[in-house]
A and B are shown apart, each in its own frame.
Chain A
Amino acid sequence: MPRNFPSEWSIGDLVDLEYFLFQDAEADGSELARRDRAWYLAHLSDQERPLSRRLLLRRWLELRRAAARDQGVHSPGEVIAAVLRPARLLLFFLGALFGFGLALGVLGYAGEQPINLFAALGLLAVLPFLFMLASVVLPLVRLARRRTPAGRLGFWLTGALLARLAGRAHAFLGGRGAGRQQLALTQAWGVLRGRGGLYAGVMGWLAYGLMQLTALGFSLGVLLGVLLRGTIADLAFSWQTTARISAEQVHALVGALARPWAGFFDPPLSHPTLEQIAGSRVYLKEGLAPLVSSDLQSWWYFLLWAILVYAVLPRLLLVGVALWGGRRAERRLGFQDARCEALIRRMQHPQVRLGQEGEGPQRETGASRVLPETAQAGFARLHVLVPAELLERPAADRLPEEVRQEFSAAPQAVLGVSLDEIQDAEALRGLAELGEDCAVLMLLEGWQPCIIATLEYLKSLRRHLGPQRLLVVGLIGREAPGRWGTPTPDAEFEIWRKRLAALGDPGLLVHNWGGAAHG
């Protein structure tokens, strides 16, 4: 394994991370713990200084990819990367083609009637400029509200279109018939696309970039069309109006529009002179006879400049912004969600085996120890919420100690709650003031069915905790002599896990008491 591979996360890497996390969610917890711990000890912990969370996950991903490659499985990230490049080109050329077509259509001039200048200017320069303005303002609003610049159209672009392409490519690359892989791919892409989800920023900037690229193609197509028509044919523009607008006023307006490039070129190369403007005005009752050809042609340069400055350059700038935004969003990925948290803990958690040597499956336990810095960022302390009736269990005084054993984290407080938002209002309000390094542990009885009221309560917990903080749902079984919490039977745990997955909360970790955790 190379020792100096990149620390960036491309879209393909994120897809792969999601894909593998989804596959792991289905696997046996203790098996995963063994594998990840072994990888960590062999490849990821022998550094001089501990790796950052980003880097640790990035390297884990490389290991996981290598393992998949050894089994002859294509990771979907490669597919996505392979699809993205041609998709960008395709969109760019489609835009260009459309723009070129529009320009040719607008400038269709056969010599009987000069082209209406205002129509040409409006369609080829002003309209793209207005669209450009919209694609600056709308994303700003969305960024302020949802941390992502793309809207519905953008998500359709990155979603339906790319997913379909990726699915085809995946099948083509030999993923045919591999239903589970296909499912994992779809799931990974789904998670990535989830609006307001973990990757909303990255995916939003990707979508935004694709849209800007298409628009840039369009503007360049228009420019090329106007240039080509003017070069190989004789174009005549005229203006006419019923309103009381004089040639001087039009000249002033055109001068104002041409200010950005008027410094480099003089009229008539930058824009027509007052005489040319007056000379290209058409009065319908007088016909076209008095018009001079050079006056009618003088508008062409101005139109070219207007398209270049008001349609092409801003789009170029926005493509740059999209690239920068995507980079920035990628750099801001914290990987703080529950599944990554569980993975980090699996890697940095020493495996303690209980029982006789040489016995079959061993029970994994979390040993109390000081966690490395990276994991401490996730949770070193726990704010524990317990249904009040469970605090009346005979062994309730053992609860803090058992929590410590279970999570290797100190319980900061243990609060009895009623699982009713209104009755627990005070307890919920207090959650906003928790320290940075404190996660919330909500203990629930796994033998109870997971009803909608429980889901609603967890949603309100999330509202009070903010989107970033880790929320662990600990499922406990019935009490046993001398122990406060016992594991929930697997079948019941599985049903809970599925129900809680429906919340789509990336910061939610479902943990079976005395068992494995799942994001």
Chain B
Amino acid sequence: MAEVPVFAVVGHPNEGKSSVVSTLTEDDRVPVSAVPGETLACTPYAIEVDGEVLVRFIDTPGFQMPQQTLRWMQQYTGPPEQMTAEFIRTHEGDARFADDCELLRPVAQNAGIVYVVDGSRPLRPNDQAEMEILRLTGRPRMAVINPKADETAYLAEWKAAFAKTFNANLQFNAHRATFHERITLLKALQYIEQDWGRSLARVVSALQDDWRVRLEASADAVLHLLDRALTLTLSETSEGEDPAARQAVRDRLIVAYQGKLNTLEQECRKNLKARFLHNKFNADLVAETVAAKDLFAEETWQVLGLTRKQLSLALAGAGAAFGAAVDGAAAGTTFGIFTLGGGLAGGLAGWSGTRPLSRLKVDLGPFSRELGGCRVQVGPLRNPQLMFVLLDRALIYFQCVSNWAHARREEAALQLPEGKQGVTAGWDGSRRRMFEQFQVALQKGYGDKAEALKPKLRAVLRDAMSAELSPREE
């Protein structure tokens, strides 16, 4: 018990103790309820590194008899270090004190204290009694302000009260805490008891390592998605020579192509979600976010991906690249006409490029006797907008799952700023160009070029992911 730091997360009923434990330990199996007094027994939740428990947080029931408990402690005259244990011994048989005995049990066994309060409400005599009880236990303690509503009028009052009683205090919204805020809390705990510093420092560095690994894996998942999506091709043979039948096959393939892209995106999301231990997180994405909308909805292509101007440039670049290939093939005899022409054509196409499925390659081959029909091929989608839309959607999704505090079980409404709502439109040209090159390399079948680009792309994605564009909540 002594070498593993244990923290009892205590407080008044319904202040969000279970939520804090859930978010700190990334465990969304911690029961969280809006009805006060749902936690009846102490339940430990651990942070393990390589199978070794480095810190434990104990979810406890709330104080039920704070004034009476304090009165008993103030009248206690025995040895101070025995006080908590003596309190439990004295009141164990009294049903009224069942919760108070239960929550003080870990404290009697030398746990540290994390005192959780809802900072959006005023301070009451019961709270003062609770703080005094914790002070009398003599255990190292930190106060955590977990505001349940957007009310800041009482914060100063709370902080003044904490100053008298606690070694440290900080604000930690269990329902919105990001990874970095979790780390901040764990770091703060290092300083309330020296003996635990090393253990907690290990936890912090292990979590940071772990976070980096998660980012790497997430970036890989996104690149894998691009890899598959940008080279996606579906083909089928249309029997006979009837053009109407051919059209029908073509239409069916386009639908199937969209469905396949959707499936690829879902796989990527599943992959991302698994990195963040969300057992219960089924709000696959908040209904209001653009990323939750259909991949091929007009609006998606309007608000994600690149702006018209950026897209024109991208397409011009891509067109020029294709043109340059033709010029190259003609060994310079074309004086770069194709490069220029391709660039111009691409630039013009940029104005229509924000429409989904624009520049989708659809090949209706001629009738061939061997096939007994003709080959219809759909894909790949040459429009760079697809790549940027996929990137944006993946990054938004990532932000949601990675910072989706584990205490939050409801579907919150996220709203992104007006205008272009993705991340990629805000990137500088060099980053965008790297991805454009990646696309061209993939679609022209230069696998080695694409592979060579991957480490740089991974770095770009890592940066984008750790930038934590916390979406604002409504």
Q: How far is the CA of A454 from the CA of B141 in the complex (A)?
A: 27
B14 interface residue per 8 A CB criterion? yes
Give the contact stretch, choosing among B34-42, B283-291, B368-376: B34-42
Q: Which residues, 4 to 20 on B, are CB-close (under 8 Å) to A?
A: 12-14
Total cross-chain contacts (CB, 8 A) = 47
Q: How far is the CA of A448 from the CA of B126 in the complex (A)?
A: 10
Are the CB atoms of A450 and B36 closer together than 8 Å? Answer: yes
Q: How far is the CA of A114 from the CA of B334 in the complex (A)?
A: 144
Question: Which B-chain residue is minimally distant from A445 (CB atoms)?
Answer: B124
Are the CB atoms of A420 and B67 closer together than 8 Å? Answer: yes
From the candidates B14, B65, B71, name the one contacting A449 in the complex (CB within 8 A): B14
Q: Shortest distance in angstroms between B92's beta carbon and chain A's nearest beta carbon?
A: 15
Q: Chain A at the B interface: mostly helix, strand, loop or mixed?
A: loop
A448-B124, A451-B63 given; A456·B36 CB < 8 A: no
A419 interface residue per 8 A CB criterion? yes
A420-B67, A422-B71, A491-B34 given; A453·B124 CB < 8 A: no
Q: Shortest distance in angstroms between A494's beta carbon and chain B's nearest beta carbon?
A: 10
**B-side contacts of A452, CB under 8 Å:** 64-65, 96, 99
Q: Which residues, 203 to 260 on B, are CB-close (under 8 Å) to A?
A: none
From the candidates A453, A491, A495, name the one contacting B67 in the complex (CB within 8 A): A453
B62 interface residue per 8 A CB criterion? yes
**A-side contacts of B122, CB under 8 Å:** 389
A418 interface residue per 8 A CB criterion? yes
From the candidates B37, B68, B121, name the one contacting A453 in the complex (CB within 8 A): B68
Q: How far is the CA of A176 from the CA of B27 in the complex (A)?
A: 45
From the candidates A447, A453, A456, A491, name the one contacting B126 in the complex (CB within 8 A): A453
Question: Which A-chain residue is minimally distant from B67 (CB atoms)?
Answer: A420
Q: How far is the CA of A449 from the CA of B117 in the complex (A)?
A: 13
B125 interface residue per 8 A CB criterion? yes
Q: How far is the CA of A451 from the CA of B62 in the complex (A)?
A: 9
Q: How far is the CA of A186 from the CA of B400 in the complex (A)?
A: 50
Q: How far is the CA of A447 from the CA of B124 in the complex (A)?
A: 12
Question: Which B-chain residue is minimally distant from A456 (CB atoms)?
Answer: B96
Question: Which B-chain residue is minimally distant from A494 (CB atoms)?
Answer: B35
**A-side contacts of B36, CB under 8 Å:** 449-451, 495
Q: Shortest distance in angstroms between B457's beta carbon and chain A's nearest beta carbon?
A: 49
Q: How far is the CA of A178 from the CA of B228 in the complex (A)?
A: 59
Q: Total interface residues on B, using CB and 8 Å?
A: 22
Per-residue B-contact encoding for A385-422, CB less than 8 Å = 1, 0 else: 00101000000000000000000000000000011101
Q: Shortest distance in angstroms between A471's beta carbon and chain B's nearest beta carbon?
A: 20
Question: Which B-chain residue is minimally distant from A447 (CB atoms)?
Answer: B121
Question: Which A-chain residue is minimally distant from B63 (CB atoms)?
Answer: A451
**B-side contacts of A447, CB under 8 Å:** 121
Are the CB atoms of A495 and B35 closer together than 8 Å? Answer: yes
Per-residue A-contact encoding for B53-68, CB less than 8 Å = 1, 0 else: 0000000001111111
Q: How far is the CA of A452 from the CA of B61 in the complex (A)?
A: 12
**A-side contacts of B37, CB under 8 Å:** 449, 451
**B-side contacts of A448, CB under 8 Å:** 124
A452-B96, A453-B68, A456-B96 given; A419·B62 CB < 8 A: no
Residue from B62, B63, B125 whose CB has the most chain A CB atoms within 10 Å: B125
Q: Shortest distance in angstroms between B265's beta carbon and chain A's nearest beta carbon?
A: 38
From the candidates B34, B35, B64, name the one contacting A451 in the complex (CB within 8 A): B64
A452-B96, A456-B65 given; A418·B125 CB < 8 A: yes
Are the CB atoms of B65 and A453 closer together than 8 Å? Answer: yes
Q: Shortest distance in angstroms between B16's beta carbon and chain A's nearest beta carbon?
A: 12
Per-residue A-contact encoding for B80-115, CB less than 8 Å = 1, 0 else: 000000000000000010010000000000000000
Are the CB atoms of B125 and A419 closer together than 8 Å? Answer: yes
A418-B125, A448-B124 given; A453·B35 CB < 8 A: no
**B-side contacts of A449, CB under 8 Å:** 12-14, 36-37, 62
Q: How far is the CA of A125 from the CA of B314 in the complex (A)?
A: 114
Q: How far is the CA of A281 from the CA of B35 in the complex (A)?
A: 80
Q: How far is the CA of A449 from the CA of B62 in the complex (A)?
A: 10
Per-residue A-contact encoding for B444-471, CB less than 8 Å = 1, 0 else: 0000000000000000000000000000
Q: How far is the CA of A374 from the CA of B36 in the complex (A)?
A: 39
Q: Shortest distance in angstroms between A392's beta carbon and chain B's nearest beta carbon?
A: 10
Q: Shortest distance in angstroms between B119's beta carbon and chain A's nearest beta carbon?
A: 14
Q: Shortest distance in angstroms between A123's beta carbon and chain B's nearest beta carbon?
A: 47
Q: Shortest distance in angstroms between A476's beta carbon and chain B's nearest beta carbon?
A: 13
**A-side contacts of B13, CB under 8 Å:** 449, 451
Q: Shortest distance in angstroms between B429's beta carbon and chain A's nearest beta carbon?
A: 53
Q: How far is the CA of A450 from the CA of B35 in the complex (A)?
A: 10
Q: Shortest distance in angstroms between A419's beta carbon and chain B's nearest beta carbon?
A: 7
Q: Shortest distance in angstroms between A463's beta carbon and chain B's nearest beta carbon?
A: 15
Residue from A387, A419, A451, A456 whose CB has the most chain B CB atoms within 10 Å: A451
Q: Shortest distance in angstroms between A251's beta carbon and chain B's nearest beta carbon?
A: 62
Q: How far is the CA of A423 from the CA of B68 in the complex (A)?
A: 11
From the candidates A387, A422, A453, name the one contacting B66 in the complex (CB within 8 A): A453
Per-residue B-contact encoding for A434-455, CB less than 8 Å = 1, 0 else: 0000000000000111111100
Are the CB atoms of A389 and B65 closer together than 8 Å? Answer: no
**A-side contacts of B62, CB under 8 Å:** 449, 451
**B-side contacts of A420, CB under 8 Å:** 67-68
Residue from A418, A420, A447, A452 whose CB has the most chain B CB atoms within 10 Å: A452
Q: How far is the CA of A448 from the CA of B63 in the complex (A)?
A: 12
Q: Shortest distance in angstroms between A459's beta carbon and chain B's nearest beta carbon?
A: 10
**A-side contacts of B65, CB under 8 Å:** 451-453, 456
Q: Shortest distance in angstroms between A245's beta carbon and chain B's nearest beta carbon?
A: 57
**A-side contacts of B68, CB under 8 Å:** 420, 453
Q: Shortest distance in angstroms between B291's beta carbon and chain A's nearest beta carbon?
A: 32
Q: Which residues, 466 to 519 on A, are CB-close (under 8 Å) to B?
A: 491, 495
Question: Which A-chain residue is minimally distant from B95 (CB atoms)?
Answer: A452
Q: Shortest distance in angstroms between B93's beta carbon and chain A's nearest beta carbon?
A: 15
Q: Shortest distance in angstroms between B433's beta carbon and chain A's nearest beta carbon?
A: 54
Q: How far is the CA of A456 from the CA of B122 in the complex (A)?
A: 23
Q: How far is the CA of A450 from the CA of B65 in the complex (A)?
A: 11
**B-side contacts of A387, CB under 8 Å:** 124-125
Question: Which A-chain residue is minimally distant from B66 (CB atoms)?
Answer: A453
Q: Shortest distance in angstroms between A480's beta carbon and chain B's nearest beta carbon?
A: 13
Question: Which A-chain residue is minimally distant from B124 (CB atoms)?
Answer: A389
Q: Shortest distance in angstroms between A500's beta carbon and chain B's nearest beta carbon?
A: 14
**A-side contacts of B67, CB under 8 Å:** 418-420, 423, 453
Q: Shortest distance in angstroms between A90's beta carbon and chain B's nearest beta carbon?
A: 41
Q: How far is the CA of A450 from the CA of B68 in the complex (A)?
A: 16
Q: How far is the CA of A451 from the CA of B65 in the complex (A)?
A: 7
**A-side contacts of B63, CB under 8 Å:** 451
Question: Which B-chain residue is minimally distant from A457 (CB atoms)?
Answer: B67
Q: How far is the CA of A263 from the CA of B124 in the complex (A)?
A: 81
**B-side contacts of A453, CB under 8 Å:** 64-68, 126
Question: Which A-chain residue is minimally distant from B100 (CB atoms)?
Answer: A452
Question: Which A-chain residue is minimally distant from B121 (CB atoms)?
Answer: A447
Q: Shortest distance in angstroms between A416's beta carbon and chain B's nearest beta carbon?
A: 12
Q: Which residues, 321 to 372 on A, are CB-close (under 8 Å) to B?
A: none
Per-residue B-contact encoding for A376-392, CB less than 8 Å = 1, 0 else: 00000000000101000
**A-side contacts of B125, CB under 8 Å:** 387, 389, 418-419
Q: Shortest distance in angstroms between B358's beta carbon and chain A's nearest beta carbon?
A: 50
Q: Shortest distance in angstroms between A266's beta carbon and chain B's nearest beta carbon?
A: 69
Q: Shortest distance in angstroms between A286's beta carbon and chain B's nearest beta carbon?
A: 68
User: What are 27 A-B pairs at a CB distance below 8 A?
Assistant: A389-B122, A389-B125, A418-B125, A419-B125, A420-B67, A420-B68, A422-B71, A423-B67, A449-B12, A449-B13, A449-B14, A449-B36, A451-B13, A451-B36, A451-B37, A451-B64, A451-B65, A452-B64, A452-B96, A453-B65, A453-B66, A453-B67, A453-B126, A456-B65, A491-B34, A495-B35, A495-B36
A452-B64, A453-B68 given; name 19 further pairs at CB < 8 Å: A387-B124, A387-B125, A418-B67, A418-B125, A419-B67, A420-B68, A447-B121, A448-B124, A449-B14, A449-B37, A450-B36, A451-B37, A451-B65, A452-B65, A452-B96, A453-B66, A456-B65, A456-B96, A495-B35
Q: Give 8 closest A-B pairs by Cβ, nearest first.
A: A449-B36, A452-B64, A449-B13, A420-B67, A449-B14, A451-B64, A453-B65, A452-B96
